[in-house]
């Protein structure tokens, strides 16, 4: 091929008359570390059918996603369950943390990132909007990027504010503007032809954000419960939004105990599924730019 070739994301791609050709299959694997709302399921002291269900898909840790590609391994949010989540789902490598917002259910496991400092042998970058990182640094005010003078092993973190697209390994992340009672940053993740939208907490999504995730291969979206809520969208609103976005496959997340997994599945269109802890979704982008989406479980 000739000189209009460009190097993107460590893979040679050619653009010829507007057509992009990838020279090898690229993949992105999503592991749902947690899919529950802020109190987790089962809720403390609740004996409803969902909280006492024998179906493991109704046990929901707080919301977090683990993303892997050939060169990237990062988590979006570190909930209070973070340590148990990474143990349960075999996560032994985290190169970066990406935060959506600083509600307790998304940040309170952050201290456990220090084990990944040791495993990686270095400082870990944490990305988020300025408001979120301000709150995280206030709560974890002992976390810095220099080893402790007293020999204590605290997390070593570089905090990096993001308002524009940035790169973690070979994944390009674009911050997405979402309202959730407070500012919430969702993310569009792109790797070669693969495109994934992640918005775990959402009350309203501006039209500009809908346009950014439109036609994604996978869209993950908040769907707290059937009834309306002051800071989350309900199932019906989520489905209406997902129909506008038109992803190949969509996953509902941040679910409360009103939603029984199997029963909710029966109410959804075929391209929308209910996420559950331990679900893995593997996306593969072939040379012609076509992306396949495949589910596996642990």
Considering the complex, state which of residue 172 and residue 257 has its C-beta at the smaller distance from Zn ion.
257
Considering the complex, state which of residue 122 and residue 181 has its C-beta at the smaller distance from Zn ion.
181
Q: Which stretch binds Zn ion (CB under 5 A): 2-10, 153-161, 193-201, 234-242?
A: 193-201
Considering the complex, state which of residue 48 and residue 262 has its C-beta at the smaller distance from Zn ion.
48
Count residues contacting Zn ion (CB under 5 A)? 8
Q: What DSSP string describes the chain?
A: --TTEEEETTEEEEEETTEEEESS-EEEEEEEEE-B-TT-BSPTT--STTTT-S-GGG-BPBPEEEEE-SS-EEEE---TTHHHHHHHTT-----EEE-S---HHHHTTGGGGHHHHHHHTS-EEEEE-HHHHHHHHHHTTT-BSS--TT-----BEEEEE-SS-EEETTEEEEEEEEEESEEEEEEEEEETTEEEEEESS-SB--HHHHHHHTT-SEEEEE---SS--SSS--HHHHHHHHHHH--SEEEEESB-TT--HHHHHTTS-TTEEE--TTEEEEEEE-TTS-EEEEEEE-
Site string for Zn ion, 247-266 (x = CB under 5 A): ----------x---------
The CB-of-100 to Zn ion minimum distance in angstroms stands at 8
Q: What is the footprint of Zn ion within residues 92-111 (CB under 5 A)?
A: 103, 105
Local structure of residue 163 (DSSP, 8 states): S
The CB-of-230 to Zn ion minimum distance in angstroms stands at 12
Considering the complex, state which of residue 52 and residue 71 has its C-beta at the smaller distance from Zn ion.
52
The CB-of-158 to Zn ion minimum distance in angstroms stands at 24
Which listed residue (81, 112, 201, 277) binds Zn ion by CB under 5 A?
A: 201
The CB-of-182 to Zn ion minimum distance in angstroms stands at 7
CB 55 within 8 A of CB 257: no
Q: Which stretch binds Zn ion (CB under 5 A): 111-119, 194-202, 233-241, 279-287?
A: 194-202
Q: Which stretch binds Zn ion (CB under 5 A): 43-51, 167-175, 214-222, 283-291?
A: 43-51
8 is a contact residue toward Zn ion (CB under 5 A): no
Neighbours of 159 (CB within 10 A): 19
> Backbone phi, then psi, for 21, in 5-degree steps?
-120, 125
Q: What is the footprint of Zn ion within residues 46-75 (CB under 5 A)?
A: 46, 48, 51
The CB-of-257 to Zn ion minimum distance in angstroms stands at 3
The CB-of-201 to Zn ion minimum distance in angstroms stands at 4
Considering the complex, state which of residue 31 and residue 58 has its C-beta at the smaller distance from Zn ion.
58
Which residues contact Zn ion (rule: CB under 5 A)?
Answer: 43, 46, 48, 51, 103, 105, 201, 257
């Amino acid at each position: 091929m000739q000189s209009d070739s460009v190097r993107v994301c460590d893979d040679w791609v050619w653009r010829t008359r507007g057509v992009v050709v990838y020279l090898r299959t690229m993949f992105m694997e999503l592991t749902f570390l947690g899919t529950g709302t802020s109190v987790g399921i089962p809720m403390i002291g609740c004996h409803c059918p969902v909280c006492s269900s024998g179906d493991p898909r109704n046990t929901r840790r707080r919301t977090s996603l683990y993303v892997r590609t050939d060169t990237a391994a990062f988590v979006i949010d570190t909930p209070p369950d973070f340590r148990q989540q990474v143990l349960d789902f075999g996560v032994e490598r985290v190169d970066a943390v990406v935060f959506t917002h600083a509600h307790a259910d998304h940040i309170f496991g952050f201290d456990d990132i220090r084990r990944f400092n040791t495993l990686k042998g270095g400082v870990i970058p944490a990305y988020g909007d300025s408001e979120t990182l301000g709150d995280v640094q206030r709560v974890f005010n002992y976390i810095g990027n220099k080893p402790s003078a007293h020999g204590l092993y605290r997390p070593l973190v570089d905090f990096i504010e993001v308002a524009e697209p940035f790169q973690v390994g070979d994944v390009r992340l674009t911050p997405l503007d979402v309202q959730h009672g407070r500012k919430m940053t969702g993310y569009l993740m792109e790797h070669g032809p693969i495109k994934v939208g992640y918005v775990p907490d959402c009350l309203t999504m501006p039209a500009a954000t809908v346009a950014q995730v439109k036609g994604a291969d996978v869209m993950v979206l908040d769907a707290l419960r059937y009834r309306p809520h002051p800071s989350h969208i309900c199932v019906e609103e989520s489905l209406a939004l997902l129909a506008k976005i038109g992803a190949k496959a969509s996953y509902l997340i941040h679910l409360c105990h009103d939603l029984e997994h199997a029963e909710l599945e029966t109410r959804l269109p075929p391209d929308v599924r209910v996420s559950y802890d331990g679900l893995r979704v593997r996306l593969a982008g072939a040379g012609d730019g076509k992306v396949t989406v495949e589910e596996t479980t642990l």
